[in-house]
Amino acid sequence: MIYEVFRQERKGQAFAHAGSVEAPNEEFAEAYAREQYGRRGESTALWVVPRQAVHEIDDFADELQKNYHRVDGYPLKEKLGRARELAAKSPGGLSAGAG
Amino acid sequence: MDAREQEFLEYVQGGGQVETDDWMPDEYRARLIKFIEMHGNSELMGVLPEREWILRAPTLQRKLALTAKVQDEVGHSQLIYRVVEDLGKPREQCLDDLISGKSKFHNVFHYPTKTWGDVGLIAWLVDAAAIISQKALLKCSYAPYARIMKKICWEESFHILHGRDVILTMMLGTDQQRELVQEALDRWWGPLMQFHGNPIARDEDPMYVWRIKSQGNEEARQQFLDGYVPQIWELGLTVPDPTLRKRDDGAWEYTEPDWDELKHVVTGHGPKTAERLELRRTTREENAWVRRAVLAEAA
């Protein structure tokens, strides 16, 4: 049986996938994971998870191109340039603004 | 090469990484297995020259350090064989092929360790040469291999320091100790210069083309010379190559390594090849009961 091992390098950090161990049961999996990923104090904690228990999702639909809830939905550079140009042309103030 | 393979090739050449379950061309998978398996074999066989010295190490501290190193290297081989297994070749089969001589391991592990000077030199310079190759694998296009390489490189860094400490201690000792180091360097220089392989242009090296390796053989050797020749010289040691020099453009010139020797040794004809494979075979037989017991208890 294959167990995936995730390790946390310092407290508060995210657990990251480190590798896997093959073991006949959980007890051995724990012992092997400790040996391989923890014996030098390089990890503050490990997650040892049977491979089948990991459910991967890697297809993310974006049919409506919902970029309004992401940073890349707001490319301001071009608009800002135009706004600055406009402001420079009307030194009198904001009275002649555009929509 | 069909369109799908071409697309894959462009993906990895653009820095893309591949996971275990992703589709990959058969050639890519076969090359990965062969390369990573040889790395696993080398870690496993690499402990034997050092193992011979655990009982003969000069102090308790050195015995402990050597034991820890052996444990690390065996651990690396376990991690690496795990990656090979996920690519489709079981560990048992890797071990069968190693013992029968069907698969290879690195040239430097086919030679004897004559004195304690050899042990220090291996730990320092052989590990240094190895870590240059291994650091370049941190960017391997096969991501699971790149990830375990992070841990392996981290442990190798302490191994190099341990080796350098052994060498420095001997260089600070008696004339006889300094001679042992010089003799070891004389013995190991040839194999060290062969270690990174023939200077095939990287764009003709399939391992680079598939971005399994991220640098060419000659780049790795130049990096080794640049990093370590000055460290060798500053201790008053002589590199046994009268033509060795750094050119004005920064590249190192050296005597052509003996490629016939490299080929002869890695195809199973090194001075210690047969003896070490035989030891692997007998220990595997002797330890078979442990594997049976573990599996029986878990069942």
C-beta atoms of A40 and B155 within 8 A: yes
Name residue, tokens 């402001």: A87
Band of the pLDDT at A99, cuts 50, 70, 90?
Answer: very low
| CATH architecture of the region A2-53 | Roll (3.10)
Q: Residue B188: exposed, middle, or buried by beta-carbon count in 10 A (0-12, 13-18, 19+)?
A: buried
Band of the pLDDT at A93, cuts 50, 70, 90?
Answer: low
User: Does the interface ipTM go beyond 0.85?
Assistant: no
Q: Give B152's contacts (C-beta < 8 A, 6+ positions apart).
A: B76, B79, B134
Token pair, residue A28, equals 């051995």
Query: What does the alpha-carbon distance between residue B115 and residue B118 come to, in Å, rounded to a whole number?
Result: 5
Query: What does the alpha-carbon distance between residue B98 and residue B43 come to, in Å, rounded to a whole number?
Result: 12
pLDDT digits (tens, 9 = 90+) for A10-43: 999 999 999 999 999 999 999 999 999 998 888 9
| A20: nearest CB among B82, B151, B298 | B82
pLDDT score for A60: 84
Kindly give the confidence (pLDDT) of every residue in chain B, 299 residues in length, as a single tens digit, with 9 standing for 90 and above: 899 999 999 999 999 999 999 999 999 999 999 999 999 999 999 999 999 999 999 999 999 999 999 999 999 999 999 999 999 999 999 999 999 999 999 999 999 999 999 999 999 999 999 999 999 999 999 999 999 999 899 888 889 999 999 999 999 999 999 999 999 999 999 999 999 999 999 999 999 999 999 999 999 999 999 999 999 999 999 999 999 999 999 999 999 999 999 999 999 999 999 999 999 999 999 999 999 998 887 66
Q: Which chain B residues are within 8 Å of A15, Cβ to Cβ?
A: none
Shortest Cα–Cα distance, B250 to chain A (Å): 37
Q: Which chain B residues are within 8 Å of A35, Cβ to Cβ?
A: 75
Closest residue in B to A43 (Cα–Cα):
B151
H or E element: which one contains B51?
Answer: helix B26-51
| A21: nearest CB among B82, B155, B298 | B82
Shortest Cα–Cα distance, B86 to chain A (Å): 10
Closest residue in B to A19 (Cα–Cα):
B148
Q: Which chain B residues are within 8 Å of A24, Cβ to Cβ?
A: 294-295, 297-299
> Angle formed by the axes of helices B60-87 and B91-99, to 10°?
120
pLDDT score for A94: 62
Interface of A with B (CB under 8 A): 2, 17-25, 28, 35-37, 40, 42, 56
